[in-house]
Structure 1
């Protein structure tokens, strides 16, 4: 019989579980607590054990928007921002679908109407039967660099125009630095400038409190890479994480007057070399905005030939309740099949995360 419950970030079983399997920073209890605080929810994880096999699913549990006038006991849950995929550990090895019935039962007992899970492109799960429990959606590919390759092979895989621009940046006096946190204020400035320039949604207009909280939560796992111009100005900067051999690109920005120089190319080149020197196995650059094949994806794709798909799993635990909420959100207009909308959950479409 599966022993299953929701646990808090303070529960020792969370950290103990992570010690038994490969994971990313998105799975850390400190990060989930931070993300829940930013997203206005409760940090927790589904934890289950069955004869030595274990499952952990990091979650943010959220109250429903007040305008929906839902029963007070109703909530929903989602993965914290990023790729905090369900994890499996222990022996005998189990597939995710072995634990999903217990997960859904516990969600139902807890009044959770719907659950939105983001899977990790580099931590694959057996998904053959996952669609039996919800809607499995494949988004665009993400780009990653295999850091176990030789430096020469990594450079050969770099698109020609990227190599040309990187060499030009170095010849003209641009340089990259790692973890000079005295430049954090400059990073915040160029990041916000970039988000305004590209018309990013409100979600990505992060405050100083967000960046400071992220640094506190991740400590030495969070790294700042800055590219300085020949005159010493910050031309570009980005945040990168390191965890269990995985380097992740998180956020970055470019000073507008240096856009024509493409300093982020030097930043990514520096970080992949730095990550390789650390002994990391892989550098995950991510994909395009919303999983699209867009200019951002095309830019990242110029650094590597390796791709991995990004999936989300959308579960409706209370189909009648879900339809009722979607109908209320749309002014009483009936919806299609539960969980079939492009935006999930449909009743949160257009709502800003506070």
Structure 2
């Protein structure tokens, strides 16, 4: 049986997530509310007996069209289930696939894009669909090994910088007051402007406030302070099911040369160990390329996980027609999906 849960059905959405053997805060009702301006959030569920597969998505109208596409929220999401995907029968998986494709057809969906979760083995399910793409790797710190073993993986330069910052009186402390959120907003926004980030990566105070106060997961705001008690670097981390996600980070421009984020990473692993976390996911490079950002993250850990996305075309004819209408070559090699959203469109 298939059914669709919307944001108006908060308790039902939360119940499916909580019953899943693996889930992250990216799957939660709260997080989808925060990103609901990007599309109509829904949780597609296929259920048989006690088993289910649930897939959170955002439904978006395609500009100048009577059709829609689907995407995922910012972060690592993809399907979740009552069992490990490898433990589900092929019959159940194929029934889910048929129900999902039928749903796409009913909804006039042209294409679907979803980021997948590098820590959950979603492959036994997703290998039955076309369009799974390798997107690179994410870097994670293993908090199940000893702290000494963890720190031995730091590059010498990173290790030295952390020691220097502690010696100079820099320290890390959790913050939660409204003025702290405003401070982080200013640091983060300035950081994004400096990096030339798109509006997609800009958030307001209400976003941070709601993200931090949810009871569906443990989100925390931490700052690095200099020896005068001035906050110079901040991060929002989210702890869910023994995984810490480095969700958002920002450093004041005038303190970049001090690399306070290095101290912050080390201190977060100490917090994670206290709270029984297994991994601290630092993420990948820009657009998940093995660039300077990726190498910076690799300076803390040798452990990486493959990161994939699902790029599925439901209707090839409609997809190509929209490309033609927008003047985009269907043979383009631009790494963007769907291609018709790779450039600004008239609404």
TM-score using structure 2 length: 0.91
Give the match for residue 207 of structure 1. Answer: 204
1:303 equivalent to 2:296? Answer: no
1:279 equivalent to 2:272? Answer: no
* Secondary structure in structure 2 of the residue aligned to 1:173: coil
Give the match for residue 53 of structure 1. Answer: 51
Change (3 A) 1:345 1:30: same
Displacement of 1:322 in angstroms is 1.2
Displacement of 1:101 in angstroms is 2.4
Residues matched between the structures, number = 339
* Secondary structure in structure 2 of the residue aligned to 1:19: helix
Contact 2:62 2:68 (C-alpha < 8 Å) held by counterparts: yes
1:7 equivalent to 2:10? Answer: no
Farther off after superposition, 89-98 or 116-125 = 89-98
Give the match for residue 169 of structure 1. Answer: 165
Given the alignment, which residue of 323, 335, 339 partners 1:342? 335
Farther off after superposition, 304-313 or 342-351 = 342-351
Given the alignment, which residue of 122, 126, 150 partners 1:125? 122
Give the match for residue 137 of structure 1. Answer: 133
Change (3 A) 1:292 1:258: same
1:238 equivalent to 2:203? Answer: no
Give the match for residue 70 of structure 1. Answer: 65
Within 5 Å, give how 1:248-263 maps onto structure 2.
248-263=245-260
Question: Which sections of structure 2, spanning at least 5 residues, go unmatched?
Answer: none
Given the alignment, which residue of 77, 88, 106 partners 1:84? 77
Question: Which sections of structure 1, spanning at least 5 residues, go unmatched?
Answer: none
Alignment partners' CA distance in 2, 1:106 and 1:154: 46
Give the match for residue 152 of structure 1. Answer: 148
Displacement of 1:211 in angstroms is 2.2
Alignment partners' CA distance in 2, 1:341 and 1:323: 15
Cα-Cα RMSD: 2.3
Give the match for residue 25 of structure 2. Answer: 25
Farther off after superposition, 231-240 or 206-215 = 206-215
Alignment partners' CA distance in 1, 2:245 and 2:310: 22
Displacement of 1:206 in angstroms is 2.2
Alignment partners' CA distance in 2, 1:282 and 1:136: 25
Displacement of 1:218 in angstroms is 5.9
Displacement of 1:199 in angstroms is 1.7
Superposed CA offset, 1:166-220 (max 9, x none): 0000000100012343422221111112112222222212223332343344676
Alignment partners' CA distance in 2, 1:335 and 1:199: 28
1:108 equivalent to 2:105? Answer: yes
Alignment partners' CA distance in 2, 1:180 and 1:106: 42
Alignment partners' CA distance in 1, 2:318 and 2:214: 35
Alignment partners' CA distance in 2, 1:13 and 1:106: 19
Superposed CA offset, 1:31-89 (max 9, x none): 1122123x2x1110110013432101111111222xxx212xx2111111111121122
Give the match for residue 219 of structure 2. Answer: 222
* Secondary structure in structure 1 of the residue aligned to 2:123: coil
